[in-house]
Structure 1
Amino acid sequence: MEIPVFTVDAFTNVPFKGNPAAVCPITHELTDDLYQKIAAEINLSETVFITKIQTSDSFSTASRFRLRWFTPTTEVNLCGHATLASAAVLFQHKKNVNPVLVFETRSGDLAVAQLKDEYVMDFPLNPPVQQDPNEFSDVIKAAVGNNTVHSVHLSTTTKKLMVRLTDSCDRSVLTHLKVDAVALQNSERSGRVKGVIVTIKGSPESQPGYDFYSRYFAPWNGIPEDPVTGSAHTVLGSYWSKELGKKKLLAYQCSSRGGGLKLEVRDDGRINISGQTVTVLRGALTL
């Protein structure tokens, strides 16, 4: 059996930037064990499997598909960059004729529309709740060291802990953070936290006008650092929209690869996350 594989860099228009995802369009479901083995073999932060809902469907004509996302170690409930990459494969390489695609996922139906050279994802919004930093002191220490913390928020839905550094910390502080993934994972074993977002206020007055910056670490899911994380921005978008008093935001994730996201927080409790993609590899996995 051969399984098509596309490697797509998401949230970038430049190869080898953004966040790479492996996209596998398959005609029928595989076993959970095989999904996980494939994801471990490919060893990117996410491998996503697109399956047709009806056997008579075509990847070119159907408007609804199923999506499942796997890290090298586990299946996850929500992944932005791999969803973006999936839409790109269907629109660009499968020549899908529909203006909007809907993916059935663990997080419900997720719609993605093509808008010129971008894709716009309709995602759930995950507002975080402010926490007492002392309750997460070990995690905070492992993530940001001795840098001064402004506030700490937790999204219980996504199990993402958001640590905002004070405004005296500029982008270089965030960029130069050295996070020991093993120490971070060992700092939290209760199961309340599966990922840590570190964020700072941006500099919208300077071009291109980023409203905030972030980095994301998820060693609990086998991802020491994720380059550009759509799901984290369902938390960040909610927080910074309220903090800055604006619905439309421009964000940048400061990993070594780096990537930009356009966000629009909607009044219906959801968020539009937009970005570009570049396909860097096409091939087949032989089983």
Structure 2
Amino acid sequence: MQLSIFTVDAFTHQPFCGNPAAVCLLEDELEEGWHQKIATEMNLSETAFIRKLHPADDFTKSSCFGLRWFTPTNEVPLCGHATLASAAVLFHKKKNMNSVLTFITLSGKLNARQAGDRIILDLPLYLAYPQDFQEVEEFVKVAVGDMNVQDVRYSPDTKKFLVRLSDVYERSDLEKLKVKTQELLRAERTGKVKGLIVTLKGKVGGKLERYDFYSRYFAPWNGISEDPVTGSAHAVLSSYWSQQLEKKEMCAFQCSSRGGELKILLRDDGRVDIGGQAVFVLEGSLTI
């Protein structure tokens, strides 16, 4: 069997930045076990599989598709950057004629639309709740060492743990942070955490200070030491920073070594629009 496959760098306007995702177009049903095998072979943070919901569907004409995401080790319920990459494949490679695409996923229906040079994702918004610092102190210390921490939160819906660094730090301090991801696995013994967000308030004003907040994201529980740019983490970060900054429209930067920019708009219906650009770096056929 031959599958069309693409590698797309998401949340960036230049190749080899942002977050790479593999996107497979499934003309026919794929035997269940192959999804994970292909994702493991691709060895990217996510491999997305777009499938037709009905035999007569068409990647150019239809507006609704099934979508699943796999890391190298397991399937995940939500992945923002691979959803953006999937929409980019349909809009730009398959020349899909619809203004809005709908994906049926483990997180419900997700919409994607084009807006200028960006693709806007309609994602669920997740709350993160304050934690007793004494109860999580060991885990936080493993995560950020002796850095001063201003807030710690947990999002039960996403199993993401959020650590906010003190406002005295700069973006460069977050970029230099070295997180020992294997020690995170040993320190978190509850089984409740599947991802660590470390975030910092930004400075908006000057030409080089245009981001409301910065973040990095670590997910060794899913076989990913550090994820370059994470849409699902921003479904949590958007809620948190909107409350802290009293803003509904924000610009964020995930400062991994690859880096990526996200435009955020909280909507009145309790969801969030997260927008970004995408660049194609590879196109071919996968033989199984």
- The TM-score range, normalised by the shorter chain, is over 0.9
CA distance in 1, matches of 2:283, 2:19: 16
How far off its partner does 1:206 sit?
A: 2.4
Q: Which residue of 1 aligns with 2:22?
A: 22
Identity of aligned residues (%): 58
| CA RMSD in angstroms, aligned pairs only | 0.8
Residue by residue, what CA displacement relative to the aligned partner does 1:205-235 show, whole Å, maximum 9, x if unpaired? 1235100000000000001000000000010
Q: Which residue of 2 aligns with 1:248?
A: 249
CA distance in 2, matches of 1:83, 1:241: 23
Q: Secondary structure at the match of 2:92?
A: helix
Residue by residue, what CA displacement relative to the aligned partner does 1:140-194 show, whole Å, maximum 9, x if unpaired? 1121111010010110000000000000111111000111111111111321110
CA distance in 2, matches of 1:133, 1:38: 41
Using the size of structure 1 for normalisation, the TM-score is 0.98
1:42 pairs with 2:42: yes
In structure 2, give the amino acid aligned to 1:210. Answer: Y
Q: Which residue of 2 aligns with 1:176?
A: 176
Q: Which residue of 2 aligns with 1:83?
A: 83
Q: Which residue of 2 aligns with 1:278?
A: 279
Q: Which residue of 1 aligns with 2:141?
A: 141
CA distance in 1, matches of 2:134, 2:67: 38
In structure 2, give the amino acid aligned to 1:226. Answer: D
CA distance in 2, matches of 1:283, 1:139: 43
Using the size of structure 2 for normalisation, the TM-score is 0.98
* Structure 1 unaligned blocks of 5 or more: none
TM alignment of 1:32-181, pairs within 5 A:
32-181=32-181
> Which stretch has the larger CA shift, 127-136 or 95-104?
127-136
> Which stretch has the larger CA shift, 164-173 or 23-32?
23-32
How far off its partner does 1:60 sit?
A: 0.2
Q: Secondary structure at the match of 2:13?
A: coil
CA distance in 2, matches of 1:190, 1:250: 33
1:195 pairs with 2:195: yes
Q: Secondary structure at the match of 1:62?
A: coil
How far off its partner does 1:45 sit?
A: 0.1
CA distance in 1, matches of 2:248, 2:162: 20
> Which stretch has the larger CA shift, 166-175 or 135-144?
135-144
CA distance in 1, matches of 2:166, 2:114: 37
Q: Secondary structure at the match of 1:231?
A: helix
> Which stretch has the larger CA shift, 183-192 or 114-123?
183-192
How far off its partner does 1:28 sit?
A: 2.4
Q: Secondary structure at the match of 2:51?
A: strand
CA distance in 2, matches of 1:165, 1:13: 28
In structure 2, give the amino acid aligned to 1:242. Answer: Q
CA distance in 1, matches of 2:287, 2:189: 37
CA distance in 1, matches of 2:272, 2:8: 23
CA distance in 2, matches of 1:50, 1:4: 11
How far off its partner does 1:31 sit?
A: 3.0
In structure 2, give the amino acid aligned to 1:93. Answer: K
TM alignment of 1:203-282, pairs within 5 A:
203-207=203-207, 209-282=210-283
Q: Secondary structure at the match of 1:206?
A: coil
CA distance in 1, matches of 2:173, 2:29: 45
* Structure 2 unaligned blocks of 5 or more: none
In structure 2, give the amino acid aligned to 1:108. Answer: G
- What stretches of structure 1 move > 4 A for 4+ residues in a row? none
In structure 2, give the amino acid aligned to 1:259. Answer: G
Q: Secondary structure at the match of 1:283?
A: strand
How far off its partner does 1:283 sit?
A: 1.0
Number of corresponding residues: 287
